[in-house]
Amino acid sequence: MKLPVTVALALRDLRGGVRRFRVFVACLALGVAAIAGVGSLGAAVRAGIAADARTLLGGDLELRQIYSEITPEQRAFISSRARLSEVAQTRTMARRVDNAQRRLVELKAVDQLYPLVGAVRLQPELDLHQALAQKNGQWGAIAEHGLFDRLGLKVGDEIVIGKTHYVLRAELKSEPDRGVQAFFGPRVLIALESLAATGLVQPGSLVYRHYRLALTDPLEAKNLADTLKEQFPDAAWRIRRLDEAAPGLQRFVTRTELYLALVALSALLVGGLGVAHAITAWLETRIETIATLKSLGADRGMVFRIYLLQAGVFALLGIALGLLIGIALPFLAAVPLGERLGIGIQATLYPAPLALASVFGVLTAALFTLAPLARAAAIAPSMLFRDLVAPGAARLSARSLIGLAALVLMLAGLLIATASDRGLAIGFVVGALAAVLTFRLAAAAMTWSARHAPKLPNASWRLAVANLDRPGSATASVVLSLGLGITVLTVVLLVEESLRKEIERTLPAAAPTFYFIDVQPEQREEFRRLVTTWPEASGYDEVPMLRGRITRLKGVPADKVKVSPDAEWVLQGDRGITWAPSPPKGTKLVQGKWWAPDYSGRLLVSFDAESAAGLGLSIGDSVTVNVLGRELTAEIANLREVDWSQLGINFVMVFSPGTLQSAPQTALATVHVPPGQEDRLERAVSERFANISAIRVEEALATLGRILAGVGRAVQAVAAITLAAGLLVLAGVAAALRRRRIYEAVILKVLGATRADLLKALALEHLLIGLATAAIAALFGGVAAYALLRLAMELPFRFSPLPMSLAALLSIGFSLVFGIGGSLRALSAKAAPYLRNP
Amino acid sequence: MLPFSENPPDSDMIRLVDVHLKLESAAGPVNILRGIDLTVAPGERVAIIGPSGSGKSTLLMVIGGLERPTSGQVLVGGEDLAQLDEDRLARFRRGTVGIVFQSFHLIATMSALENVAVPLELAGHADAFTRAAEELERVGLAARTEHYPGQLSGGEQQRVALARAFAIRPRLLLADEPTGNLDGETGRAVSALMFDLAQRYKTTLLLVTHEADLADCCGRVLQIQDGRIFADRPAGLRGAAALA
């Protein structure tokens, strides 16, 4: 078969040169693999959530309300249409019978039908309801390993929850409807029938009631939900269907995926630099061939097409390899990640993220090969033989520049169009462009300084400095690729460190040691006396607390109101609310006035100013809140500034006294005790008040820290891929320069340079590159981390020298390793073979 | 001024005793040099001629310390090269030997000035660039100091190579077919310059060439064949002026 001449020439020209494309293929494969992997994994997790929706929800529909049970009328109505299972959940203390140890636990009381979907796994393998049943007058309980561990118990031992003793009959290995929840303690399962005996259910206690409904025809779920809304319009419940089985997990996955995708994209961009460098190095070896082809009649277009074809074939190979890795990732991660998230990851092939990764790959390959290809095609044959010193110096044509700009716009447009947070995507595009520009300028400044530096007295020093500005020098490529990799790593480490410090910082200074929840009205006096007279306790604070859900804003149903993303959380689920006659201490009013202490008019509310802005609310607007099944509408009287980072008692909404005063409610109290004194106070409270739960702020923050660390590890892993892409570029640069370095070393040796002279010059050159790169990466990484924290996360930036130092060390280390490592052969090369006459 | 010699003036500049060089190749061992004995006095000009593959260039490399013989003794300027490791050999060349190649072997990424300055810098001269500029002026390239090798003609490149080789005022200049890549006229001009500089700096000259005319410009001609000195005869001294 006769191939078209362009194809035939492209193939012939590749003979013996395929190895030179290794870095090209690897760089593209790495970037595409990162994007395809993150996308596929995200899709697999979402598919897992959808597939497990029924299990996660615990049925086809779930009704959830706080405090009270559903009415007998509601129960009868539901039971006639579906199988109904009831679960009650609350946080409480579990303690040893001798009260020597206690632990906050996530208590779940289940009925005989639980679980409607899926199964509970126990160790030893017992029947769940047998294990929970009352035997010889004693109820059974099942707990996660953490409780056994913390209280020093084994199966068969007793624990006390509230006023009731339970026998621990098994260890809980897994529960089907757990999903990912921020647990403050181990899970304990008990029988719903035994809950009343614990005394934990008091008016106003934070007990969440979940009613799971299983239907004979699951497709009827929507109709039943509509019927329930119609039949019981004032019901306190919130109905969840299968498509919102795990909204928290969905949000978590979407958010994490976006951050990972952005870091993956930076890996692809750094890989693009490797692509550009590899194709440039390849084309430099083809100059003679191009010149010959041109002298034989090949026009510019044909030369462009020949090398575009070669680049295209290897780009497709790189993209295909990347996609294969991306496809494999969900299969590899299914088990460990599934266990962590509590869902079955659906490991299969997801075309959409793969297609997106391919388009990113093609655009990146096109963007980074266009300029070298255009330059090679544009060089006149007469120049090619003469101007071997500085190939690639030809200016790009207007057409090529327009092509480059179009590719940049397409890449940016694709990213912004497909990102779940456009603002963040735009920020990334601006940041990436600024980073490339900064490092380009920095490299230019370095070469300019090297050119204009005074002649140094030491030969090695002068050689090192002069090497930075040689024609065809790799300074720009190294500074840009290493710099971008190190910058991404710096940003990731700085953001993580800032978050970690933010958590730590608030702890000793402002945060209370304990939150005590569910303090009953009749217990308040005695509880307050116990805690405030406790010798080491200080900073006691106490407020009434209820749970309420915003149902309407300015009369419009909350689910119909468009709100800014950073205020969405206010409308999600129940919020703690309180009431107060006078401004709680530390209140900073930013607008409006507080009501008089003896105010008793229509209900007013003080709103967090930032949340109000996000929800589009201002003074005078109405907010309707469902509290204990009752709709209460209040007028916004003032706006407050709330500093959530202080971890003290804070509420989005503080109501005026009156209506809420008479509602069943509990108190929330906070107190500070010095480190080491926590156990004694906790024991004293739990001995006296079995129903009051103590949440240790330190432990809650540790839980938060663990979740953050998990996400941090994932982001770090992808950032490491970016750095790996940068190192691939360095390896490519070193390989491309190796021949020239060896030749130069040989000549220098002929002229009297020792190996030590050469090594010193090499080390100094790469030390300078590493140092300059580190300085700019630290500076730019710092600015980017600051912007990300302040603008995207609205958290303070905390400077930390450790990530900066680590990034600097890596930058210098990698520059030295790749710079010297790549040229070590040059030091020991025998001179004669290079000097013999041709 | 560089130290001209640390050895007594009447000692040999080059002394080779039974030098052999055997290289391993895919087709088996190849004997390149087979027992070379040679003595060259300071200031002498010696041409080495012979067919391709006879071992001329290898002999030059052995004398320059760029190739180690398999056996035999090599003394250059009184220094036994076998006793020097790679780095001491480099330092030895730095102060004693200049080399000019047929392919010029300039560093492509350095300007003409930088190429000439390198050996001076390596020898620790603070005024390396001033002296390099003077050397370039001396070879008629004052206007080309900032040009890169790729921007110079072959003759100009070889003149830069000569300036580089003579910059350290070597006691010994090794020239491996210095005009082999140049056309006749340019070659003659470069040769004239080389002889002129060698005479001016009293440099011992060892010249490998195919050109009989060029060989005759030296005081002595060695003919090499199959790795042995086949003939060692005086040549008619025509001098640099005759070539100009």
Please check whether residue A465 touches B, CB under 8 A. no
B107: which chain A residues are within 8 Å (Cβ-Cβ)? 743-744, 747-748
Mean pLDDT of chain A: 84
Check whether A646 has a pLDDT greater than 70.
no
Question: Among all residues of chain B, which has the CA nearest to that of A741?
Answer: B107
Please give the average per-residue pLDDT across A200-213, as a whole number: 83
Full DSSP string of A150-183: HHT--TT-EEEETTEEEEEEEEEEE-TT--S---
How many angstroms separate the CA atoms of A193 and A111, rounded?
Answer: 7
pLDDT tier at A620 (50, 70, 90 boundaries)?
Answer: very high
Measure CB to CB from residue B109 to each of A455, A471, A750 and give the nearest one. Answer: A471
- Scan residues 379-408 of A and list those with Cβ closer than 8 Å to B: 386-390
Q: Residue B170 is part of which domain span? A: 42-65+86-243
How many angstroms separate the CA atoms of A581 and A636, rounded?
Answer: 15
Q: Going by C-beta distance under 8 Å and a sequence separation of 6 or more, which residues neighbour residue A268?
A: A28, A31, A32, A34, A35, A360, A361, A364, A725
The answer to whether residue B124 sits within a structural domain is: yes
Please give the average per-residue pLDDT across A372-387, as a whole number: 66
The answer to whether residue A425 sits within a structural domain is: no
**End-of-domain residue from the set A380, A402, A420:** A420
The answer to whether residue B13 sits within a structural domain is: no
Span A461-491, pLDDT tens digits: 888 888 888 777 778 888 888 888 888 888 8
A838: which chain B residues are within 8 Å (Cβ-Cβ)? 103
Same domain assignment for residues A396 and A279:
yes
Mean pLDDT of chain B: 85
Check whether A838 has a pLDDT greater than 60.
no
The answer to whether residue A104 sits within a structural domain is: yes
Check whether A558 has a pLDDT greater than 50.
yes
**End-of-domain residue from the set A652, A681, A703:** A703
The answer to whether residue A128 sits within a structural domain is: yes
Q: Does residue A806 or residue A363 have the better pLDDT? A: A363
Check whether A520 has a pLDDT greater than 80.
yes
B94: closest CA of chain A, how far (Å)? 4
Same domain assignment for residues A400 and A496:
no
Half-sphere exposure (CA, 13 Å, Cβ side) for A644? 9
The answer to whether residue B7 sits within a structural domain is: no
pLDDT tier at B46 (50, 70, 90 boundaries)?
Answer: very high
| Predicted pLDDT of residue B88 | 86
B121: which chain A residues are within 8 Å (Cβ-Cβ)? 459, 462-463
pLDDT tier at A181 (50, 70, 90 boundaries)?
Answer: low
Same domain assignment for residues A490 and A555:
no
CB contact under 8 A, B150 and A459: no
Residue with tokens 């998230």: A341
User: CATH number, domain at B161?
Assistant: 3.40.50.300
Check whether B174 has a pLDDT greater than 90.
yes
Ranges A164-178, A286-300, B226-240, most confident: A164-178
Ranges A311-315, A623-627, A657-661, most confident: A311-315
Chain A contact probe: residue of B32, B114, B118 with most A CBs at under 10 A: B118
The answer to whether residue A428 sits within a structural domain is: no
Q: How many domains does chain B have?
A: 1
Same domain assignment for residues A235 and A254:
no
B58: which chain A residues are within 8 Å (Cβ-Cβ)? 832
Please check whether residue A288 touches B, CB under 8 A. no
The answer to whether residue A434 sits within a structural domain is: no
The answer to whether residue B30 sits within a structural domain is: no
Same domain assignment for residues A754 and A803:
yes
Measure CB to CB from residue A835 to each of B86, B105, B129 and give the nearest one. Answer: B105
Same domain assignment for residues A674 and A716:
no
Q: Residue A611 is part of which domain span? A: 510-703
CB contact under 8 A, B126 and A749: no
Same domain assignment for residues A399 and A465:
no
Question: Among all residues of chain A, which has the CA nearest to that of B86?
Answer: A754
The answer to whether residue A560 sits within a structural domain is: yes
Nearest to A442 by CA among A407, A382, A483, A401: A483
Span A739-772, pLDDT tens digits: 778 888 888 888 888 888 888 888 998 898 899 8
Same domain assignment for residues A837 and A717:
yes
The answer to whether residue B50 sits within a structural domain is: yes
Please check whether residue A459 touches B, CB under 8 A. yes
The answer to whether residue B28 sits within a structural domain is: no
Question: Among all residues of chain B, which has the CA nearest to that of A754?
Answer: B87
Nearest to B170 by CA among B15, B64, B62: B64
B122: which chain A residues are within 8 Å (Cβ-Cβ)? 459, 748, 751-753, 757
Same domain assignment for residues A619 and A679:
yes
Check whether A416 has a pLDDT greater than 80.
yes
**Contact between A524 and A668 (Cβ < 8 Å):** no
Same domain assignment for residues A517 and A637:
yes
| Residue count (chain A) | 838
pLDDT tier at A506 (50, 70, 90 boundaries)?
Answer: low
| Predicted pLDDT of residue A559 | 77
pLDDT tier at B115 (50, 70, 90 boundaries)?
Answer: confident
Check whether A387 has a pLDDT greater than 50.
no
B95: closest CA of chain A, how far (Å)? 8
Span A79-126, pLDDT tens digits: 999 999 999 998 888 888 887 788 888 899 999 999 988 888 998 999
Same domain assignment for residues A287 and A343:
yes
A742: closest CA of chain B, how far (Å)? 11
Q: How many domains does chain A have?
A: 4
| Predicted pLDDT of residue B243 | 43
| Predicted pLDDT of residue A645 | 57
Please give the average per-residue pLDDT across B50-72, as a whole number: 89
A835: which chain B residues are within 8 Å (Cβ-Cβ)? 61, 66, 101, 105, 176
| Predicted pLDDT of residue B74 | 95
Measure CB to CB from residue A837 to each of B108, B128, B180 and give the nearest one. Answer: B180
The answer to whether residue A432 sits within a structural domain is: no
| Predicted pLDDT of residue B6 | 43
A308: closest CA of chain B, how far (Å)? 28
**End-of-domain residue from the set A195, A221, A244:** A244
Same domain assignment for residues A654 and A745:
no
Check whether B7 has a pLDDT greater than 80.
no
B94: which chain A residues are within 8 Å (Cβ-Cβ)? 751-753
Residues paired with residue A547 on neighbouring β-strands, in sequence order: A576
Check whether A381 has a pLDDT greater than 60.
no
Above 0.85 for ipTM, yes or no? no
The answer to whether residue A229 sits within a structural domain is: yes
